Amino acid sequence: MNHKTETELHNQAVKDLAEVLPKIAQYKAKDRLKIPAQDMPCQDPVVRRSNLNEVALGYTLEQARLEAMRCIQCKNKPCIAGCPVEIDIPRFVQHVAEGDIQKAIDAIKEFSLLPAICGRVCPQETQCQLTCTTGKSLKDIDKAVAIGRLERFVADWERTQGTIKAPLVKTETGRKVAVVGSGPAGLVVAADVRREGHKVVLFEAFHKTGGVMRYGIPEFRLPNEIVDQEIDTLKKMGVEIKTNFVVGRTRKLTDLLDKDGFDAVFVGTGAGLPMFMGIEGENLIGVFSANEYLTRANLMRAFDRDNADTPMYYSKYVAVLGGGNVAMDAARMAKRLGAKEVYVVYRRTEVEMPARKEEVAHAKEEGIHFYFLQNAKRILGDDKGRVRAMECLRYELGEPDSSGRRRPVVIEGSEFTLDVDTVIVAIGNGSNPLIGQTTPNLNVNKWGNIIVDKETQKTNINRIYAGGDIVLGAATVILAMGEGRRAAAAINKLLAGAG
Amino acid sequence: MNQITLKKQLSTDVFLMKVRAPLIAEERKAGQFIMLQVDDDFGERIPLTIADASEKDGTITLIFQVVGKTTSDLAALSEGEAIPSVVGPLGKPTHIEKFGTVVCVGGGIGVAPLHPIAQALKKAGNHVITIIGARTKNLLILEDEMRAIADEFIVCTDDGSYGRKALVTVPLKEVCEKNPKPAMAIAIGPPVMMKFCAETTRPYKVFTQVSLNTIMVDGTGMCGGCRVNVGDKVKFVCVDGPEFDGHLVDFDNMISRLSSYKDIETKKHRCKLEGCK
Ligand SMILES: Cc1cc2nc3c(=O)[nH]c(=O)nc-3n(C[C@H](O)[C@H](O)[C@H](O)COP(=O)(O)OP(=O)(O)OC[C@H]3O[C@@H](n4cnc5c(N)ncnc54)[C@H](O)[C@@H]3O)c2cc1C
Ligand SMILES: Cc1cc2nc3c(=O)[nH]c(=O)nc-3n(C[C@H](O)[C@H](O)[C@H](O)COP(=O)(O)OP(=O)(O)OC[C@H]3O[C@@H](n4cnc5c(N)ncnc54)[C@H](O)[C@@H]3O)c2cc1C
Ligand code: SF4
Ligand code: SF4
Ligand code: FES
């Protein structure tokens, strides 16, 4: 594998920048298109397979400036429309090109509160970078301006400068808002509402905050340190955090309003309830939902076998079912936990895979095998009830279905077995059932997702708002964040009105 | 929060602790449990039933048997110390109403979760027949408490060191043969015991409720680690249970799943006791 080290990439960038910089003022669009797209420096795949450190190392200043100079500052700014929170991308990118990173971060923060996170985990190739003119002109979406990487660079720069200032909080209003769930949706609501001077209490069921960013997305993609930073900022702003508190159980949702004196509540409890395939052998020892597997490894720290009390299954041959980010994370985590071979079994083809492109590429570099157009039929066990193999079926692509993707059709009689000792099911999550179960009057749809007004995120119960995965079904960090911002705006308006 | 206000040793391996947790004490109902952690960074989350609670004192009572790492770490805490994480009450409360005659069967540590249920059933006006059992005399817990709320009371040990020398299924069968037969049975104890209780009552068509103690990670329906087959459905014990119709539970699969980490945990436990690395 031709892995380029951080130093090699950096040295090249220093050289290229020295050449471009004196002439940049005269550059036309076509000249900018010739500036080499900057690769993300990464840990060597052979090394990173057995550690949990972040895979992507981040641009250096020179790399970031060069990459930013590839932006042709389009008049119609198609990239902005691709971003769910409509960051003024050309503006911040221009600041990066000029080397004024402080201005860049200020520009981003007008729109997004979690740039270090979104820069890392947004599916950019289907959002802001999808419509980027630079990519289009070069007829290669991988050659679009690397907006996410630039965003990450800018946010990391601010963090390492130690200049992060907690946003100003207005004078106390005496009003009080409960935020349920500390995933991206909840964090954003807490910050936006607190800024207006309202008291905010953030309730979290687990002993640690961050939601999926803590228990699901592994350290090697999103270090805990970055999530901690966001929580620290909230604490500095005076947000009170109550962990080990399950709303619905420890306290009923409506009791927060009726008994505890909260003026409004935001519910951001996320997805939960892992789905299984409903096939034979799914309850054998060695079959896990990706949620369980990742929660043990991440939140419960079972990756650290010597120190963690929570046990982690020893696996040699692992099959992961699914093709999303969750499947990629589980597969790559299994590898890091010492599995010899990991197979991702996906019923469609690579094109239809919902996972971020970069993660798929990283997984391949790490030696994960991909079995496309295949699916599990049943899981076979040994006499101790442990997984010994998985019987699979081959598929071919048929007519497009309602989602526009071509439907996989089973090829009859194509059964074959894969010898594995572990099966991780990553085919999606239903909604978290607890709030719905314990709040009888709350309107939810047939999948258990809370129904809200699209403008305000308000539920059918007065003063109760909701957003993120509990409304959208399993979605993305940035969409959860966008919903949080809308809800916070509505809550702030409600409280100001009632002033 | 979570201070241990009382600690008592009930038998060789069994401890009782009262823990300050006013919100949980206020909300909890019979049949519910908490998840706790003795170390917030590297500890394991384990489920324990709320054996009793006092809203007035703001405390909950836990009764647990030391079987592994977390339970021994917990047993090592003293009065006045706090348990870093306690979350609950979780699970669906037991459905309590006046059924008529109810036979409550508790085995070993299972008597602890059975106690608040028997109490609630008695309060609702049921005729409560209680059968408790243990391997041997000094493993029996809560005998006086259970006797106090029972209309009929039977105690047995496997080795005959106290009460009747019998497995709890023997008196259970006798109770089922009475006329009229009991309206329902509740059996809580080791999985094997619950399995055989369900087998005992099956021919008499006495509805038998069991409380399952599967391995759990989050306890809120997020991981699926606690799943069991109930009839032709897969249920999550932490949100759909912990109580289910014993005649429908696939105990063999549940018992097998409980051994998922046996090798790893026995090793860890031994290492802790023997002080090796
Ligand atoms: C493994 C994995 C990888 C992913 N990768 C990506 C990615 O690369 N890019 C991307 O954009 N998205 C990714 N996602 C999706 C993304 O993480 C979610 O869309 C996002 O986190 C949703 O945010 P949220 O705030 O709605 O909820 P969550 O992040 O799910 O947080 C909800 C929080 O609420 C808490 N909670 C639940 N019930 C209660 C209750 N009753 N009381 C108190 N607290 C409660 C939960 O413990 C949790 O902490 C991934 C998801 C997973 C699982
Ligand atoms: C809803 C519920 C309520 C419970 N209530 C009580 C209670 O009131 N008192 C009490 O003493 N115990 C109770 N348990 C069981 C208790 O959770 C386990 O004993 C505990 O998790 C063991 O943790 P450990 O780290 O000490 O042992 P580990 O080191 O984790 O395990 C030691 C041995 O116990 C087995 N084991 C692991 N988890 C469980 C489990 N959940 N159930 C049974 N065996 C297990 C392992 O296979 C291993 O052989 C309950 C379990 C559930 C699910
Ligand atoms: S938040 Fe996400 S979609 Fe928006 S600009 Fe950043 S990376 Fe792109
Ligand atoms: S579309 Fe691409 S090139 Fe155009 S302004 Fe946006 S980032 Fe720059
Ligand atoms: S313990 Fe995780 S779903 Fe029940």
A385–B257 CB contact, under 8 Å: yes
A229 and A96 both lie in a single domain: no
Alpha-carbon gap: B239 to the closest alpha carbon of chain A (Å): 8
pLDDT at A403: 77
* Domains contained in chain A, number: 3
A332 and A477 both lie in a single domain: no
Q: Could you give the residue range(s) of every CATH 2.40.30.10 domain in chain B?
A: 2-90
| Final residue belonging to a domain, choices A126, A161, A196 | A161
Q: Flag residues of chain B having pLDDT under 50.
A: 270-277
Alpha-carbon gap: A273 to the closest alpha carbon of chain B (Å): 5
Residues A438 and A375: their CA atoms lie apart, in Å, by: 36
Domain B2-90 annotated CATH 3.40.50.300: no
Whether A169 is in a domain gets the answer no
pLDDT at B275: 43
Q: Is the distance from CB of A272 to CB of A449 less than 8 angstroms?
A: no
Q: Find the CB nearest B223 among A246, A295, A307.
A: A295
Q: What residue in A sits closest to B23 (Cα-Cα)?
A: A250
Edge-to-edge strand ranges of the sheet holding B33-37: B46-49, B33-37, B85-90
Q: Is the distance from CB of B134 to CB of B159 less than 8 angstroms?
A: no
Residues A135 and B128: their CA atoms lie apart, in Å, by: 75
A327 and A419 both lie in a single domain: yes
Whether A167 is in a domain gets the answer no
Whether A323 is in a domain gets the answer yes
A291 and A228 both lie in a single domain: no
Q: From the CB of A150, is ligand 3 less than 6 Å away? A: no
Q: Find the CB nearest A272 among B43, B221, B265.
A: B221
Alpha-carbon gap: A384 to the closest alpha carbon of chain B (Å): 7
A251 and A312 both lie in a single domain: no
Q: Write out the DSSP string of B73-118.
A: HHHT--TT-B-SEEEEEESPPP-----SEEEEEEEGGGHHHHHHHH
Residue A141 sits at the chain B interface (C-beta within 8 Å)? no
- Cβ contacts (< 8 Å) between A309 and chain B: which residues? 39, 42-44, 69-70, 73, 268
- Tokens encoding A305: 């076998």
**SS3 call for B40:** coil
- Cβ contacts (< 8 Å) between B69 and chain A: which residues? 309
CATH number, domain containing residue A61: 1.10.1060.10
A237 and A340 both lie in a single domain: no
pLDDT at A499: 46
Whether A168 is in a domain gets the answer no
A441 and A307 both lie in a single domain: no
Q: What is the pLDDT of residues A326-368, one digit of tens each?
A: 999 999 999 999 999 999 999 999 988 999 999 999 999 999 9
| Final residue belonging to a domain, choices A427, A444, A461 | A427
Whether A375 is in a domain gets the answer yes
Show the CA angle centred on residue A476, arms to residues A485 and A262, nearest 5°: 40
Q: Which atom of ligand 5 is nearest to the CA of B224?
A: 3
Residues A315 and A305: their CA atoms lie apart, in Å, by: 13
A64 and A211 both lie in a single domain: no
pLDDT at A464: 97
The residues facing A42 across adjacent strands are A56
- Cβ contacts (< 8 Å) between A274 and chain B: which residues? 222-224
Count of other CB atoms within 10 angstroms of residue B61? 21
Closest of A462, A26, A85, A126 to residue A263, by C-alpha: A462
Note every long-range contact of A133-137, with CB atoms under 8 Å and residues 24 or more positions apart, other chains counting. A133/A72, A133/A74, A133/A78, A134/A32, A134/A33, A134/A70, A134/A71, A134/A72, A137/A29, A137/A33, A137/A72
pLDDT at A306: 86
A37 and A151 both lie in a single domain: yes
Whether A457 is in a domain gets the answer yes
Q: From the CB of A476, is ligand 3 less than 6 Å away? A: no
| Final residue belonging to a domain, choices A427, A456, A483 | A427
A379 and A471 both lie in a single domain: no
- Cβ contacts (< 8 Å) between B259 and chain A: which residues? 285, 384-385
Q: Is the distance from CB of B33 to CB of B91 less than 8 angstroms?
A: yes
Q: What is the DSSP letter of B249?
A: B
Ligand 4 centroid distance, CA of A140 (Å): 14
Run means of pLDDT, 10 residues per run, chain A, 499 residues:
85 93 90 93 91 93 96 94 93 96 93 91 93 93 95 94 82 96 96 95 95 94 93 93 95 94 96 90 95 93 87 93 96 95 94 91 95 95 94 92 84 94 94 86 91 95 96 91 95 83
Residue B84 sits at the chain A interface (C-beta within 8 Å)? yes
- Of the candidate CATH numbers 3.50.4.10, 3.40.50.1000, 3.40.50.80, 3.90.79.10, the domain formed by B101-258 belongs to 3.40.50.80
A295 and A237 both lie in a single domain: no
A17 and A152 both lie in a single domain: yes
Residue A308 sits at the chain B interface (C-beta within 8 Å)? yes
Alpha-carbon gap: B101 to the closest alpha carbon of chain A (Å): 30
CATH number, domain containing residue A249: 3.50.50.60
pLDDT at B32: 95
Ligand closest to the CA atom of residue A128: 3
Task: Give the range of the structural domain holding residue A103, as residue numbers without chain letter.
Answer: 6-161
Q: Could you give the residue range(s) of every CATH 3.40.50.80 domain in chain B?
A: 101-258
